[in-house]
Every structure is written in structure tokens, then in C-alpha cells.
Amino acid sequence: MRTKLFFLLFFSVVLSGFSQPGYKLDFKIKGLKDTTIYLGYYYGEATYIKDTARVNNQGSFNFEGKQNLPQGVYFLVIKTTRLFEGFVIGKTQQFAMETSTEDYIKNMKVTGDEDNRLFFENMMFNMERHKEAEPYLKTIRDSTLKEDQKKEARASFAKISEKVMAYQNDIVAKYPATMTARIFKATKQVEVPPAPKKADGSIDSTFQLKYYRAHFFDNFDLADDALIRLPNPIYQQKVGEYLDKLFLPQPDTIIKEIKNLAAKAKKNQETYKYLIYSCIFKYQNPEIMGLDEVFVHLYDTYFASGEMDYWIPPASKASFKEFADKIRLSMLGKVAPNLTMQDANLQPKSLYDIKKKYTIIFFFDPDCSHCREETPKLVSFYKKNNLKYNVEVFAVSADTSMKKMRDYIAEMKMPWITVNGPRSYTNQHYSKLYYAETTPTIYILDDKKKIIAKKPPVEKIESFLENYERSLKKKAVTKGS
């Protein structure tokens, strides 16, 4: 019985020695004394403070907590000054670091943590390689030299780059679980093999793109939340590059790919949250027309469903809902809601009464400086193209003042239908039917009043209609054949 009890006690002591929950980070920095210092960390594009310590007159201080720190890159801050590039928090979270203000990197000594030893050795290695590369870089950047004069410098620089890659690959192979190795691996580019030949002997021109798509995340673990806590927001950048550069900017395509990424990130609640939040923020006001449909889908799928309730505050969720509901009313492909308002002669004018092939809805405000810049451009477009494209403009003034509207019409010589938005014959204000919170806002409708363009710049309307007409002709030819 005593033997069994002794064994159990011994086993529990050994086990607790291996697990060591919580963190204890001991620092000594020669040259610092009697000040407050903060432990900070990165999170995407932002930085946050995690802990606070007091530096004694010997330069010693420590951070300690009962719960493990989330893994990633951390840094030390005094007031608003970051002391050095940072250090890693990996699996080992009880260690000591000693250095000097004379040179934080060169004088760094790490005790009890292999991960930070590797991290700082890499910094020193990179500093040495940078010095080695400087003369070659100077030659490469010299605009007075011809390309053949730079050939030798480029070759020498390439060899140094190969040394750096070999060094990092060696760390990844020998210490794969360390934070340092995971950073190296996450930033490693996918090597795309040459395209094979098809049966007829021609090169498969689609091979490399397909291969790059399929292997894009081979070195990047979407479920590793430590990759969110790096000095550069590479998680967000990686996802952005994948969605922006490897696929056509079509809502259905982007939605499908986000779903695939989310399935991989979902293994970890933190990465799942970060991925979905990054995507919904990305497509809230997208640069490419029509991709706001992605925002609506993300809200419906991940927020309205309650899936993200484990982290999102109710107020933020309500804000997302309000925004999604505004967008969904006037997405591309939807039939535009009718508008009936008073014109300058106090007569009702209806959007649906316009029988032209195309209708441009132009939401403006007489006091809006940007409207004053864009309205003359639209007038010029209209005079040049209204017959060519069979187009009419339905301009909606956001101001309640009829006088301001009439004065604006006269000043700008607006030759189209102009109505006063607040003086409406519909049950709802136009802002409840169209997403037009800023002025000017433009929508283009086809002959069935379907929305075919949303918020295009005035100078792009002509080229848009030209391309749209061309696509209609192609569809007609395809359908006829």
C-alpha cells in the first residue's frame, strides 16, 4: 500500500512538473531601472496590452499568470516605446531572458526556452546576411548601371537568399512545433511545378493556377491562432490574397471559397472567429461592384444563425443586421423598388413610368460638395449618350427644400427627371428601399428595372454600358446558336 501511495505521489509530482500551467517570464535588462513596463501582443493589425510589471533598480522584472498565454509574438513597451522587435510565446511559458539596452538583440541570453533561443539566433543570422547583401543590393538598385552590369550582383544576392531559406527550412525540419518554425513555414511560398503537356502535346495552361489554388495553404495552418498574433497581419493578408487574386470576383464563387476556408479554421474557435470577422469586414464596403452580396450571405450564415454568438456582442450583431438588411434590398440582380415623388412642379413622377432601355437613379444633395463635382459630369454624359443608349436619369434630392432643389436644377442645367426624395407617395422613405447613405449614389437599371450596376463612378458609366451592351450581344449570339 505504501509503495502504491509513493508511486502515485511521485507520478503526480512529475506530471505537474511537465505541465506547468500558467506563465512566468523573468527579465533582466541592464540599463533599465525604476519604471513601469508592459507586456504587449499583436492581434491582426492591432496591438494590445496583456500584463504590467515594475522594473527594479537592477533592471529585473517579471510577468506571471495562472493561465497560459495565447501563443504568438509578444513585445515589451515603456510608455509608447517598443523596446525591440519582440519575442515568441510558444508551448514553453516559463523562462528567463537577459539583455542590455546597448543592443537588445546582440546581448540577448535566453534560459529555459529553446523557441526564443531559435528566434533570437535567427535575428542575428538575418542581421549578418543583411550586411553581407548590402553591397549587392546597392548595385542592383543603382539606376545608372545597365542590367548586364548587375548580373553578378543579382547572382550573389540570390545565393544569400538561398542561405536564408536553407536556414529557415532547417529550423522547420528540426523544430516543427516551435513558434519560430511555424512562423517560417507560414511565410514560405508554395513552389509550383512546370505545367505538364496534354495528350495532344500542348501545354496545360490551367495547370499552374489550379495547382497554386489547391496548395495555397499547404504551409499555412488556418486553425493555428498563433498566426493571428504576429507583427505583420499575415493571416488576414493570406486570406485576402487567396480570395482577391485566385478567383473571379463573383459573389457565388467568393462565398463558396469562404465556406471552404471556414471549414478549415473551425477546428479552432479563435481562428474561426477571426476568419469570419475578417471576411465580413472585407466585404462590408467592397471595391468591386456586387460583392456586398457576400456581406449579406456572411451575416445570414454566421451571425443571424447564432453561430458567432459565442463572441460577438449583441450591439455589433444588431449593427451587422441593420447593414445587411439595407444592402439586401438593392443588390445586383434585384428588381429596383418603385419610387414616386414630387418634381419641381409639385407633380408626382414615378420611376416605373420611365420606359427607356436603361434608367440611372441619381441620389444627390444640393449641399453636397462631391455632388457638385459629379453632377456636371453626369449632365455631360447624358447629353452625349441618352439617345445612343436610350437612357433616362431619375434624380432624387435628399433635401426637403424644394427651393434648394429648383435652384440646383437651374444651376446644373439638369435635363432629366428630378424629384424631391422626402416628398414621397410611397409608404417608405427611399433610404429604406435603397442603400444610399452617402451622396452621390448611383444605380443603373435595365428595361425591366433590374439593378445591373450599383455605385459606379460617373466617369465609368459610359464604359459600363458599352461593355454591358457587348455582353448582351454575346448572350444573344450564344442563345441563337
CA angle at residue 148 from 147 to 153, to 5 degrees?
85
Strand partners, 40: 49, 75
| Whether the model pTM is above 0.85 | no
Among residues 256, 311, 248, the alpha carbon closest in space to that of 279 is found at: 256
The answer to whether the CB of 434 falls within 8 A of the CB of 329 is yes
Just give the CATH number of 21-113. 2.60.40.1120
**Helix, strand or coil for residue 344?**
coil
Peptide bond into 286 cis (omega under 30): no
Q: Are 105 and 112 within 8 A, CB to CB?
A: no
Fold classification of 340-476 is Glutaredoxin (3.40.30)
In terms of DSSP bridges, do strands 340-343 and 417-424 run parallel, antiparallel, or are they unpaired?
antiparallel
Q: Which amino acid appears at position 204 of this protein?
A: D
Quickly list DSSP for 323-379: HHHHHHTT-TTSBPPP-EEEETTS-EEEGGG--SSEEEEEEE-TT-HHHHHHHHHHH
Amino acid at 41: Y
Phi, psi of 236 (to 5 degrees): -65, -40
The answer to whether the CB of 337 falls within 8 A of the CB of 436 is no
Per-residue pLDDT tens listing for the chain (481 residues): 443 433 333 333 333 334 468 999 999 999 999 999 999 999 999 999 999 999 999 999 999 999 999 999 999 999 989 998 899 999 999 999 999 999 999 999 999 999 999 999 999 999 999 999 999 999 999 989 888 888 999 999 999 999 999 999 999 999 999 999 999 999 999 999 999 988 888 888 899 999 999 999 999 999 999 999 999 999 999 999 999 999 999 999 999 999 999 999 999 999 999 999 999 999 998 989 999 999 999 999 999 999 999 999 999 999 999 999 989 888 999 999 999 999 999 999 999 999 999 999 999 999 999 999 999 999 999 999 999 999 999 999 999 999 999 999 999 999 999 999 999 998 888 988 998 989 999 999 999 999 999 999 999 999 999 999 999 988 877 776 6
The domain limits of the chain are: 21-113, 208-328, 340-476
On whether the CB atoms of residues 90 and 45 are closer than 8 A, the answer is no
Cell output for 398: 435628399
| Dihedral (Cα; 112, 117, 120, 122), 10-degree rounding | -170
Question: Cβ contacts of residue 398 below 8 Å, gap of 6+?
Answer: 363, 364, 365, 368, 421, 422, 439
Distance CA 60, CA 28 (A): 4
Task: Decide the pairing of beta strands 358-364 and 441-445.
Answer: antiparallel
CA distance 306 to 401: 44
Residue with cell 442645367: 413
Report CA torsion sign: 196, 198, 199, 201: negative
> Which residue shows C-alpha cell 436644377?
409
Whole-number Å distance between alpha carbons of 37 and 61: 9
Nearest to 236 by CA among 276, 183, 207: 276
- Distance in angstroms (rounded) separating the CA atoms of residues 389 and 405: 27
